[in-house]
């Protein structure tokens, strides 16, 4: 993947981080191959097991997790990893320079209908301690050194930030190379498009209910413009759309599980996506707090998410502030 390496070197990324990103890229190419084989490879459908989240695992959840885990541990660059599909952290090379958290196959409920899914990852520097445990990962998202995702769709794209903006690479299936196709992603601060699971509206907190109600009133309502709704039911796909053409994505708290702050996972989904969105000029919030400022308390922590166009995220926060 020399092309990807050259682009990252031009951005001043150090060789160790480049090597780690190469390893992620190789694993995702293999996941991409398995996905595109589909039923021909017998990888569709569910296992009989549940992950730590209490969700039934798809066969490709397990395959993707094992591919990433094995290649990352073999690299010698990873001190420990955390996965949405693992109960606990997995310790790697004690001399490894990085910690990595990932969702191996986001949106896996879409696999069996051949819809978009993706791999999300978040990278931190490891300290020099000889002891590594869950607490090593409990760092705010603002300390990420890289974050990104690979979206498996009609084309396979690697979307990446190392803290110097957001770039998009398209996997050339013939060369096996990720080729730079978008040098700098920018999100318009305003939008007329939102993504949310409307079937849950009656369960949301009042500020979110009021906000969506006002969007639906369109040009005759208080917002004075019409909005369109889009929903893929895979965070990686909905966020990818925002990075491509703007918009707002939200998965808010709802009262069916009031003890949980949200559905999405802070370490595996919210933090890496928040870094990408902010690096592209957008904002990422819980509705009341910047996501990248949250101090994690455990690796499988959940969080409410509102991200995308900066002015629209600000509008959501105003609805929450008026309800305090």
Question: Is residue 107 annotated as involved in ligand binding?
Answer: yes
Question: Is residue 30 annotated as involved in ligand binding?
Answer: no
Nearest to 216 by CA among 232, 201, 237: 201
Crossing angle of helices 206-216 and 310-322, rounded to 10°: 130
Alpha-carbon span 260 to 257, nearest angstrom: 6
Give me 240's structure tokens: 């990818």
Question: Is residue 141 annotated as involved in ligand binding?
Answer: no
Give me 312's structure tokens: 């629209």
DSSP sequence for 54-122? SPEEEHHHHHHHHHHHHHHHHTS-EEEEEETT-SS-EE--TT--EEEEEEEEETGGGGGGT--EEEEEE
Give me 184's structure tokens: 């700098």
Question: Is residue 50 annotated as involved in ligand binding?
Answer: no
β-sheet bridge partners, residue 106: 118
Phi-psi region of 114 (alpha: psi -120 to 50; beta: other; left: phi over 0): left
Question: Is residue 51 annotated as involved in ligand binding?
Answer: no
Question: Is residue 68 annotated as involved in ligand binding?
Answer: no
Question: Is residue 106 annotated as involved in ligand binding?
Answer: yes
Question: Is residue 297 annotated as involved in ligand binding?
Answer: no
The binding site for substrate consists of: 106-109, 197, 263
The binding site consists of: 84, 103, 105-109, 197, 263, 269
The binding site for Mg(2+) consists of: 84, 103, 105-106, 269
């Amino acid at each position: 993947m020399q092309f990807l390496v050259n682009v990252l070197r031009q951005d001043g990324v150090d060789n160790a981080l480049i090597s780690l990103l190469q390893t992620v890229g190789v694993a995702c190419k293999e996941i991409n191959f398995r996905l595109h084989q589909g039923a021909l490879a017998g990888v569709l459908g569910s296992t009989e097991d549940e992950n730590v989240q209490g969700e039934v695992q798809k066969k490709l959840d397990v395959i993707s997790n094992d591919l990433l885990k094995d290649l990352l541990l073999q690299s010698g660059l990873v001190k420990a990893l955390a996965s949405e599909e693992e109960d606990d952290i997995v310790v790697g090379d004690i001399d490894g320079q990085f910690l990595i958290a990932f969702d191996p196959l986001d949106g896996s409920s879409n696999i069996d209908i051949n819809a978009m899914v993706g791999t999300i990852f978040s990278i931190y520097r490891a300290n020099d301690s000889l002891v590594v445990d869950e607490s090593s990962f409990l760092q705010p998202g603002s300390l990420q050194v890289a974050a990104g995702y690979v979206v498996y769709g009609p084309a396979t794209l690697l979307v990446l930030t190392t803290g110097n903006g957001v770039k998009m690479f398209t996997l050339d299936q013939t060369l096996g190379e990720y080729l730079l196709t978008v040098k700098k992603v920018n999100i318009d601060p305003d939008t007329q498009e939102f993504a949310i699971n409307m079937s849950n509206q009656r369960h949301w907190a009042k500020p979110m209910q009021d906000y969506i109600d006002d969007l639906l009133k369109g040009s005759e309502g208080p917002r004075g413009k019409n909005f369109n709704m889009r929903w893929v039911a895979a965070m990686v796909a909905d966020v990818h759309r925002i990075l491509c053409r703007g918009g707002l994505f939200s998965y808010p708290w709802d009262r069916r599980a009031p003890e949980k702050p949200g559905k999405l996972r802070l370490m595996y989904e919210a933090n890496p996506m928040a870094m990408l969105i902010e690096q592209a000029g957008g904002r990422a919030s819980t509705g009341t707090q910047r996501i990248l400022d949250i101090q994690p308390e455990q690796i499988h922590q959940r969080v409410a998410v509102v991200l995308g166009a900066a002015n629209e995220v600000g509008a959501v926060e105003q609805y929450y502030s008026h309800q305090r």
